[in-house]
């Protein structure tokens, strides 16, 4: 994923580019401008007392970035790690976060008209982190509001509650 | 003249700040009864440089004030007037106004006009009062009037005195911007010099050919800056008290020394550039350790050659790292040198006699730490004088010398710096602190050791001062002091003896970017422990491990030590659980000591500290992360927070 594609403005004024990815059997997509790079999964350094979906921290060319497994967080599919497991490195609010997914599929262009409001139920993600639904090649794609998800308390990636206790 | 002078403003501001600091330092040590002429000369030169520079750049408020200050200083060094404490105080106040004005110019804020006017008025009043005295000297008075209007370097037609001013500036080797002024002045000087020399205060010698005829007639020409040579002392100086031979003999050496030292080369570099370099060197250290790891796997002749090359690289990297780090190092004196003034002002205000002793001011410490030390140190010094040192009567009654002593010292111990503020005052009062703690609803017990009682004063809102003064006693402060010091990776310890004094010592790391660490393994994971905190490591014998409740404790050197199994704390699987099969590392943080159980020691290594908070958040018990030779992330143990948490556990168990 090169930066140049990220910077290209969409053809139509209301057209946006999304990166679609797979979690279990479901297809998701996120705003491609937040994607820094895509790389294969490698074991991260574990962090004590962190929730299970935080796999640990990784060295991304000198930066120490946390790795989140969305499959564990949202209970989709099976959290297996093999040579096909992918980490999407996101750049959100000056922070870099790696997100573990089962695979990335495509870059899709969608106009606002093509995006339907998100369903209230039936998806693993809490609807407050969803941007909408769309259909690409007869497949339903769930658009994730990744910025909101990454900064949410649910992922606890950002220091919001300082009263963390030390486990002895 | 279309040179863009704004590019030199920064240099002028920096230099003027240094000059002002130098003036203040010298004013502080000056002996009013027998002033050292060389010191007065230095003060004069500093004032003069500021005047010259501000004239060039058109900062006329600075020029006006320094000019009149200079006139007074000139009289003092010519011994036309006698110095007394009032005049020194006045000079110090003027320095303060100058600092404020300089800051205002730098930050393009409104100028403190009222203070400037008041300062000028006061200086003029002192000047005229002294001029009425028989020693008065009319030439200087006239000189003051003539030069009063700015030094318009950029006027189309320079006034005679403006030329003389800028010539001085250009002849002053200390001033970088002198070069700027020089080219233009060389031409002007020839034209204007004959008139200018009537005010030529400083027989510079640089323009000897032109100036000499008049210099000998000039009553103030004894300054002799001597760019290349010392001018002979004018024999006809009307002031009887001048001792030309002595001063002339002393000056050349002093002037040459200082200018040689400064010319030996220092350049101003933007700190951002150095910081960028520190980061790059950090990356280089990581790359180098990656290379040495790969090198170990290569056999044969080329492997040996590679190994030799890597060893060379390792040496060079370490040297680069050291020299880059040393660029950021500054003597602690940069912070310490403001304290003579603080102590002087405060002790006068409080009617106490306090002597300040500074030790180890040359100890070097990271620049970023220097800046952050100012506030906590100021607070601690003020506290020592306000709360620590008693009034002269009380001291006399207690059989102590009337004058109290505050010692400010810095020393390097291993890779940490210890800065301590000690006084021979009353010491901390255990009862009062305990009472106050009870009042504030803090958990205390009567048998708490002193060291824990002293730590109570770092609680927010804690002040035992009987009454609130504008110096201290509002209870905001000590908690801020501790927070500030902890934010730069340091810690603070208190020792106190009732009636004998107290001592606050601040332990700081030499640098915040790189730490000497011991790498240990726990299960599959690697952790780094700061070498600084490690006392020793060993494999324990079964009889050294005892069990209290569900926890193991260590029995070493007739003492029980808390034992923290790192694999439990860091939740690592497949670690060695049995203490006797593992390695114990004894750690020390402040006065707390404890053992940490790990699987094995890997070796000692310098590691670059990376922030976890940049992309994640603070993790309890972890000070940061680093990147190992294989590119993997290792966590750096935060010994201080670990010590605190195991203190808590122990107490909890004792209470339970």
Looking at the complex, does the CB of residue A149 fall below 8 Å from at least one CB of chain B? no
Report if pTM > 0.90. Answer: no
- Asked if A54 and A113 touch (Cβ cutoff 8 Å), the reply is no
Looking at the complex, does the CB of residue A40 fall below 8 Å from at least one CB of chain B? no
Choose between B566 and B229: higher pLDDT.
Answer: B566
- Asked if B75 and B90 touch (Cβ cutoff 8 Å), the reply is no
SS3 of residue B405 by DSSP:
strand
Which residue of B lies nearest to A48 if distances are taken between CA atoms? B570
- Asked if A57 and A21 touch (Cβ cutoff 8 Å), the reply is no
Q: What's the DSSP call for residue B498?
A: T
Q: What's the DSSP call for residue B218?
A: -
Model confidence at B634, pLDDT cuts 50, 70, 90, reads very high
pLDDT at B468: 45
pLDDT at B493: 86
Percent of chain B exceeding pLDDT 70 equals 73
pLDDT at A86: 92
pLDDT at B264: 53
pLDDT per residue as tens digits for the range B548-573: 777 788 888 788 888 888 888 888 88
Count of CB atoms situated within 10 Å of the CB of B513:
20
pLDDT at B407: 92
DSSP β-bridge partners for residue A108: A18
What is chain B's mean pLDDT, rounded?
Answer: 74
pLDDT at A37: 92
pLDDT at B598: 93
pLDDT at B69: 83
pLDDT per residue as tens digits for the range B268-309: 888 788 878 877 887 787 788 778 878 888 888 888 888 889
pLDDT per residue as tens digits for the range A22-61: 988 888 999 999 999 999 998 899 998 888 889 999 988 7
Q: Report residue B139 CA to chain centroid gap.
A: 42
Q: Which stretches does DSSP call E strand in B523-631?
A: 525-530, 534-538, 545-548, 551-556, 559-565, 583-589, 592-598, 600-608, 622-627
Please give the torsion angle defined by the CA atoms of residues B116, B121, B122 and B123, in that order, rounded to the nearest 10 degrees: 90
Model confidence at A100, pLDDT cuts 50, 70, 90, reads very high
Residue B643: pLDDT over 60: yes
pLDDT at B248: 39
pLDDT at B118: 85
Instruction: Work out the minimum CA distance from A52 to partner chain B, whole angstroms.
Output: 12
Residue B263: pLDDT over 80: no
Residue B259: pLDDT over 60: no
Choose between B265 and B532: higher pLDDT.
Answer: B532
Which of B525, B572, B621 is facing A166, going by the closest CB pair? Answer: B621
Helical spans, DSSP H, in chain A = 3-7, 70-74, 146-150
Model confidence at B465, pLDDT cuts 50, 70, 90, reads low
Which of B570, B632, B645 is facing A59, going by the closest CB pair? Answer: B632
Cβ-based contacts of A57 with chain B (< 8 Å): 612, 616, 625, 633
pLDDT per residue as tens digits for the range A38-49: 999 988 999 988
Q: Is the dihedral of CA B307, B308, B310, B311 positive or negative?
A: positive
Looking at the complex, does the CB of residue A49 fall below 8 Å from at least one CB of chain B? yes
Structure tokens at A104: 């990335």
Q: Domains, chain A, ranges and CATH?
A: 2-150 (2.40.50.180)
Planar angle of CA B49, B55, B56, nearest 5 degrees:
95
Looking at the complex, does the CB of residue A46 fall below 8 Å from at least one CB of chain B? yes
Residue A5: pLDDT over 70: no
pLDDT at B421: 92
In chain B, positions 577-616, which contact chain A (CB-CB < 8 Å)? 610-616
Q: At what angle do helices B113-132 and B85-107 cross, to 10 degrees?
A: 150
Residue B334: pLDDT over 80: yes
pLDDT at B601: 92
DSSP β-bridge partners for residue A93: none
Residue B191: pLDDT over 70: no
ipTM surpassing 0.90: no
Residue A80: pLDDT over 80: yes
Choose between B569 and B509: higher pLDDT.
Answer: B569
Cβ-based contacts of B570 with chain A (< 8 Å): 46, 48
d(CA B642, CA B638): 6
Q: Which stretches does DSSP call E strand in A32-117?
A: 35-40, 54-60, 63-69, 86-92, 95-101, 103-111
d(CA B537, CA A4): 53
């Amino acid at each position: 994923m090169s930066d140049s594609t990220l910077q290209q403005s969409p053809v139509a004024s209301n057209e946006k580019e999304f990166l679609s990815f797979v979690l279990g059997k479901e297809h998701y997509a996120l705003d491609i401008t937040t994607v820094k790079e895509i790389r294969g999964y490698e074991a991260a350094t574990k962090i004590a007392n962190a929730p299970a979906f935080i796999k640990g921290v990784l060295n991304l060319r000198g930066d120490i970035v946390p790795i989140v497994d969305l499959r564990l967080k949202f209970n989709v599919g099976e959290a297996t790690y093999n040579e096909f497991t992918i980490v999407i490195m996101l750049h959100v609010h000056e922070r870099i976060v790696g997100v573990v997914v089962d695979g990335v599929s495509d870059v899709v262009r969608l106009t606002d008209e093509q995006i339907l409001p998100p369903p209230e139920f039936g998806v693993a993600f809490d609807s407050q982190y969803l941007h909408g639904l769309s259909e690409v090649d007869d497949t339903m794609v769930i658009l994730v509001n990744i910025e909101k998800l990454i900064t949410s308390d649910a992922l606890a990636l950002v220091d919001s509650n300082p009263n963390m206790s030390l486990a002895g | 003249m279309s040179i863009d002078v704004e590019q030199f403003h920064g240099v002028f501001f920096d230099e003027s700040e240094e000059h002002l600091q130098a003036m203040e330092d010298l004013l502080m040590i000056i002996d009013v009864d027998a002033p050292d002429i060389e010191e007065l000369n230095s003060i004069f030169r500093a004032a003069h440089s500021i005047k010259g520079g501000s004239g060039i750049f058109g900062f006329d408020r600075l020029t006006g004030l320094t000019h009149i200050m200079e006139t007074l200083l000139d009289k003092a060094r010519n011994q036309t007037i006698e110095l007394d404490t009032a005049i020194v105080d006045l000079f110090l106040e003027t320095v303060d106004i100058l600092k404020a004005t300089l800051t205002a110019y730098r930050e393009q804020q409104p100028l403190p006009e009222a203070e400037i006017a008041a300062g000028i008025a006061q200086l003029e009043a002192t000047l005229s009062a002294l001029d009425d005295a028989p020693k008065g000297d009319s030439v200087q008075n006239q000189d003051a009037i003539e030069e009063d209007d700015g030094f318009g370097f950029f006027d189309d037609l320079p006034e005679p005195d403006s030329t003389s001013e800028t010539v001085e500036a250009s002849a002053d080797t200390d001033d970088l911007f002198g070069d700027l002024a020089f080219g233009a002045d060389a031409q002007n000087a020839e034209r204007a010099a004959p008139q200018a020399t009537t005010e030529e205060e400083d027989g510079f010698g640089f323009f000897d050919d032109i100036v000499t005829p008049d210099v000998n007639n000039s009553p103030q020409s004894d300054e002799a800056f001597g760019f290349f040579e010392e001018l002979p002392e004018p024999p006809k100086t009307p002031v009887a008290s001048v001792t030309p031979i002595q001063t002339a003999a002393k000056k050349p050496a002093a002037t040459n020394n200082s200018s040689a030292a400064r010319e030996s080369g220092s350049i101003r570099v933007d700190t951002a550039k150095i910081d960028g370099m520190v980061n790059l060197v950090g990356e280089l250290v990581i790359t180098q350790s990656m290379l040495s790891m790969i090198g170990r796997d290569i056999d044969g002749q080329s492997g040996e050659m590679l190994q030799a090359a890597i060893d060379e690289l390792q040496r060079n990297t370490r040297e680069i790292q050291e020299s880059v780090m040393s660029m950021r190092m500054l003597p602690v004196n940069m912070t310490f040198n403001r304290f003579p003034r603080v102590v002087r002002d405060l002790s006068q205000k409080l009617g106490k006699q306090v002597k300040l002793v500074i030790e180890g001011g040359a100890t070097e410490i990271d620049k970023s730490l220097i800046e952050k030390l100012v506030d906590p140190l100021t607070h601690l010094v003020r506290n020592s004088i306000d709360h620590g040192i008693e009034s002269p009567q009380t001291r006399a009654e207690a059989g102590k010398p009337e004058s109290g002593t505050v010692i400010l010292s810095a020393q390097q111990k291993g890779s940490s710096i210890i800065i301590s503020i000690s006084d021979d005052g009353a010491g901390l009062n255990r009862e009062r602190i305990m009472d106050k703690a009870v009042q504030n609803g803090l958990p205390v017990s009567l048998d708490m050791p002193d060291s824990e009682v002293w730590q109570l004063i770092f609680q927010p809102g804690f002040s035992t001062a009987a009454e609130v003064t504008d110096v201290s006693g509002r209870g905001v402060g000590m908690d801020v002091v501790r927070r500030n010091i902890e934010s730069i990776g340091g810690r603070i310890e208190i020792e106190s003896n009732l009636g004998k004094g107290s001592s606050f010592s601040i332990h700081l790391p030499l640098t915040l970017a790189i730490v000497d660490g011991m790498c240990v393994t726990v299960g599959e994971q690697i952790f780094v422990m700061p070498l600084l905190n490690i006392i020793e490591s060993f494999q324990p014998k079964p009889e050294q491990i005892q069990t209290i409740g569900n926890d193991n404790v260590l029995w070493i050197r007739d003492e029980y030590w808390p034992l923290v199994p790192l694999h439990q704390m860091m939740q690592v699987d497949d670690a060695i659980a049995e203490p006797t099969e593992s390695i114990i590392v004894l750690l020390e943080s402040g006065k707390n000591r404890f053992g940490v159980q790990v699987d094995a020691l890997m070796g000692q290594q310098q590691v670059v500290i990376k922030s976890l908070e940049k992309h994640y958040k603070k993790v309890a018990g972890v000070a940061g992360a680093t990147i190992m030779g294989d590119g993997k992330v290792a966590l750096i143990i935060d010994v201080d927070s670990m010590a605190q948490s195991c203190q808590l556990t122990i107490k909890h168990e004792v209470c339970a």
